[in-house]
Amino acid sequence: MSPDDVPASRWDLPPAESADEDGLVAVGADLEPATVLDAYRRGLFPMPLSGFGRRELLGWWSPDPRGVLPLHGLHQSRSLRRSRRRFEVRLDTAFDQVIAACADPSRDGAWISPAIHAAYLRLHRLGWAHSVEAWTPGGDLAGGLYGVAIGALFAGESMFHRETDASKVALVGLVELLVAGGATLLDVQWATPHLRSLGAVDVPRGRYLELLDEALGQQLPAAFVRPCNG
């Protein structure tokens, strides 16, 4: 079945084009499923404000330029191809563990607050948020990532690794699932040097919103549709 329907959001978030020079569109609102999903559909994503000493202050962001990873432009080095053979890639078998690892406060640049953590667990249970995991032959979770799938969009949120290349292998697995399912847009928010090494590029906000509109008009890849238990 498709992801569970959610009621309409009680918030009317501003348009992405109203962002300030840092990409901040608004502050406040809530992290109810309807609010978060409406934000993604508008080209926004939630992230606590940093540098203000108040991680509970919620920001809604639309950076310009926007980082995307072209689905047919993923860079795989020879060593990454070798690493791909060392791990088993799985979908949605350990979402709780993946987001907990991504939210580890000891990580450099940790930004996932308890409220964000709880919100995405709820989105996962409703069928909207997903994890892609890299497992060792011995059954250990070596790395992974999570994000939200809406139509032909996958909005990546965070990734982690415990073994070399494990998060990259999870990303390769995600791209394979998206390509096989006909997805068109992999949003990575900001194209960091690490993501650039894998093929991520910057696109102007206006172009991102065009790509988003096209993606939202398409079907969810089959891999992300939950099976009916009846």
pLDDT digits (tens, 9 = 90+) for 74-112: 999 999 999 999 999 999 999 999 999 999 988 888 899
Contact partners, residue 67, CB within 8 Å, separation at least 6: 187, 188, 189, 190, 191, 192, 195, 200, 201, 202
CATH of 66-224, one of 1.10.357.10, 3.40.630.70, 3.90.850.10, 3.40.50.300: 3.40.630.70
Range list of H helices, the chain: 33-41, 78-84, 95-102, 114-125, 166-181, 193-196, 205-216
Q: Are strands 153-161 and 185-189 parallel, antiparallel or unpaired?
A: parallel
Element (H, E) at 201: strand 201-203
The pLDDT tens digits for 59-82 are 999 999 999 999 999 999 999 999
Q: What is the dihedral of CA 117, 93, 169, 137, to 10 degrees?
A: 130
Percent above pLDDT 90 for the chain: 86
> Of all residues in the chain, what percent carry a pLDDT higher than 70?
95
The alpha carbons of the chain give a radius of gyration, in whole angstroms, of 17
Spell 30-52 as b/e; 16+ CB within 10 A means b.
ebbbebbbbbbbbbbbbbbbeee
Delimit the domains of the chain by residue range.
Answer: 17-61, 66-224
Q: Which of 133, 129, 152 is nearest to 142 (CA)?
A: 133
pLDDT value of residue 230: 36
- Nearest 5°: the CA angle 97, 32, 127 is 50
- What is the value of pTM for the model shown? 0.94
Q: Please name the residues in contact with 127: beta carbons below 8 A apart, sequence gap of 6 or more.
A: 1, 2, 3, 4, 225, 226
Tally: H helices and E strands in the chain: 7, 10
Residue 196: predicted pLDDT: 95
Q: What is the DSSP letter of 198?
A: T
Residue bearing tokens 């509109």:
213
